[in-house]
Amino acid sequence: MSARPRIAVTTSARSGWRIFPLVALNVWLAGGRAVRWGTGRAADLATVDGLVIGGGDDISPTLYGGEIRAEVRLDPARDALERRLAEEALGRGIPVLGICRGAQMLNVALGGTLHADAYATYPGSRRYRTILPRRRVRACAGTLLEGITERAEMQVNALHSQAVDRLGTGLRVAAEDEGGMIQAIERPGPPFALGVQWHPEHLFYQRAQRRLFAALAQAASGRAVTAAPA
Residues with a known catalytic role: 100, 199, 201
Rg of the Cα atoms in the chain:
16
Q: Are 207 and 23 in contact (CB under 8 A)?
A: no
Task: Please give the single-letter amino acid code of residue 110.
Answer: L
SS3 99: strand
